[in-house]
Structure 1
Amino acid sequence: MGSASAVLGPLCDGQHSSHDVLHYTAPSHLELGPLQLETCWWVPLLFAVAGVILGVSHPVLDSWQQGRGGQQPRGGADPSWTLVLAAIALFVLQYAASGGLEAPLLGQTLMGGLPTLDIVLAAAAVAIWWAFDATPQGLAMACLTAVAGPAVEVALINGLHLYAYTHPAVLGVPTWIAWVYFAGGPAVGNLGRRVSSSLVQRRRRHRAGEA
């Protein structure tokens, strides 16, 4: 989980810097074919920690809910790789869209003054949760991620001055970033379920072989 997140996270985050959404104080620039990514040495580590937390918490909460007769995720405790990769792909698309749409939608509002970009990304994030999770525990983790993620960013920006958003709204971060974190919950959570299931099955085969 840590390795996958350490690779995927900076690739997604690089979409923000490439669209002038944010820039690092001491950046590292990577060229991956047509992709020009701006990142920093600590970014993969931070994403790795987040990946481990989300990857472990979802199977644990699923097991707890199952013991209480609660709802199980759409893909079950053992989701297919097709479902896992589809959830990740849509999360990556939402992440990229948040960067690409910020400039054209900046300042635009809908529904009584709510920012248009927030509405678009919120709808996409909730749709991802509904399509690939749809459980109370998954919703709780998505909401927790949507709160904890921006809170960590506030500390990194205002406390450590490691990077800055071009168009911040509250305490140095844009409001729409919470919906990007929200969508990451079901995407990374299903990868965690897939990995957990594989480990459980391997352990069972090993025990059967010993017997």
Structure 2
Amino acid sequence: MVLVRAGVGRRRARNGMLLCALVCLVVQLPTFTAPGDRHGGSKVVRRAAQKDAEGFQGFGLHGAALTASSAVLGPALDGTAHGNFGVLAYHFPPPVPVMLGSYKLFSTAIWVPPLFAFAGLLISSLYWLIDNALAVKAEQRSPSLLQTLAAVMCFAANYWASGFMSSNDLGTGKTVQRLISCVLALWAISAWRVFDGTTTGLVVSVMTAVGGTLIEVFLINAPWWDLYAYSKADFWGVDSWIPWVYFCGAPAVGNLSRLIRNRLA
């Protein structure tokens, strides 16, 4: 009997020790961490924040540069290519002549430079943001200075060609407008393919063509003002070929945007 009681006592003591060990293990378990994981979460957050910051390095200066350049280049192209060729005429407020000494370069309205400035800022920002979103490779968004200048000159030539073809006696009616549209369309698509070729460029070019045209339709047809008018409008107050001029402009702005972005990085 004594031996039995002693055996039972030893088993109870052993069971008690196991129970205490199990309780200690359960209490301590939440504090256990694998080696190297103790601060892993915060490191991941810091790396993500650093990557996001690097993705927008120089974004403000980039936007300012594109805004300023667009405010100058846009009205100059519009005035010399469309104003001087009689494609459109500004009504109110009265256009202001831009002079070089005693020589008149072109005329423009006071609200035109801010509008082009906003367009340049918007297009360049879209290039930056979509490049980031699509993770466009660095070599695909690193145009040289020569390529950028060529893209801008190609756009300027497209702008001038639209004014020249529209103002010359090629005929009247939709047939001529369609012919001009075909020429400018081939020109614009080729410009994207040669000077850009990225999905970003294609998306922004389409957005610019559609958005720019719709903005002009609104500006011309809004009943509370009389800002300007096209002389041979055939599509809701604008020329039906104007989207292709906008399309061609996007790769030019995009190359300039990427060039400045890379220089600021």
TM-score (norm 2): 0.68
- CA deviation profile, 1:63-108 (whole Å, cap 9, x unmatched): 2212xxx6x58x6322111111110010001001100111333437
RMSD: 2.0
Q: Contact 1:7/1:44 (CA < 8 Å) preserved in 2?
A: yes
Deviation per CA, 1:138-195: give whole Å up to 9, x if none.
1111011001101111111111321000000111000111000000111001111111
2:172 corresponds to which of 91, 94, 107:
107
Compare the two structures and name the one with the higher helix fraction.
Answer: 2
1:3 aligns with 2:68: yes
What are structure 1's unaligned runs of at least 5 residues?
201-211
Equivalence for 2:141: 77
Match of 1:94 in 2: 158
Q: Distance in 2 between matches of 1:101 and 1:173?
A: 15
Whole-Å separation in 1 of the counterparts to 2:226 and 2:68? 26
Q: Structure 1 vs Structure 2: percent identity of aligned residues?
A: 39
For the pair 1:39 / 2:108, whether they are aligned, the reply is yes
Partner of 1:65: 134
Distance 1:177 1:28 in 2: 23
Q: SS at the partner of 1:76? A: helix
Structure 2: gaps (5+ residues): 1-65
Structure 1 CA distance, aligned partners of 2:100 and 2:126?
A: 32
| Selected match of 1:50 from 96, 112, 119 | 119
The runs of at least 4 aligned residues of structure 1 exceeding 2 Å deviation read 31-36, 75-78, 103-110
Greater relative contact order structure (CA < 8 Å, 6+ sep): 1
* Change beyond 3 A, Cα 1:32–1:127: farther
Q: Does 1:27 align with 2:92?
A: no
1:129 equivalenced with 2:195 (yes/no): no
What CA distance in whole angstroms lies between the structure 2 residues aligned with 1:151 and 1:81? 32
Distance of 2:256 and 2:152 partners within structure 1: 8
Q: Which amino acid aligns with 1:38?
A: S
Answer whether contact 2:212 2:243 (CA < 8 A) is retained: yes
Which string of whole-angstrom CA distances, capped at 9 and with x for unpartnered residues, describes residues 13-38 of structure 1?
01201001000012111123766312
Aligned pairs, number = 193
Whole-Å separation in 1 of the counterparts to 2:146 and 2:104:
26
From 172, 175, 179, the equivalent of 2:237 is 172
TM-score normalized by structure 1?
A: 0.85
Separation in 2, partners of 1:128, 1:173: 23
**Structure 1, 173-182 or 158-167: larger mean CA deviation:** 158-167
